[in-house]
Amino acid sequence: MPLPKDLPDHHDAELIIKLYDLRREPTLRASRAAMFKDYWPRTDDDAIAVFKADHPLNAAFRQTSTYWEMVFGMARHGIVHGDYLAENSGEGLLLLARAYPHLAAIRAAYNNRIFRHAEWVATETSAGRTIFEAARARVAQMLASRAP
């Protein structure tokens, strides 16, 4: 595994801007909106249901989660500065925070590699840890305020 970059540079900034532009693509934007509106798993079964082809969020989940895995993989493999990426990718860490309590069940039922890059950013970068912990607290608060 390559060594992480010590500081972000203009190449990191250019890549982050390109990744932001991709987020504005209409299909990805619609998928992201659907996920953040409707993906609030309370149980392992809720978290896993989205993998069924006929689930209304199936396509949105696949599009959104694979986008963020691609993005976070760039940090994990040293292509972009990890903390700088985390500072600009809180939404991806929020998606992980929603799935995180059910991650073992998701991996067992679907794919043992899912969210591995997101989890790396959330646990191995300073900014990622800070943002992820805030996201987990936010998700817990939102779940508590939502009717079951």
Map 51-100 to HEC letters.
CCCCCCCHHHHHHHHHHHHHHHHHHHCCCCCHHHHHHCCHHHHHHHHHHH
For residue 138, what pLDDT is reported? 95
Which residue stretches of the chain have pLDDT < 50? none
For residue 9, what pLDDT is reported? 81
How do residues 73-108 score in pLDDT, each as one tens digit?
A: 999 999 999 999 999 999 999 999 999 999 999 999
For residue 128, what pLDDT is reported? 97
The pTM score is 0.91
For residue 4, what pLDDT is reported? 61
For residue 12, what pLDDT is reported? 85
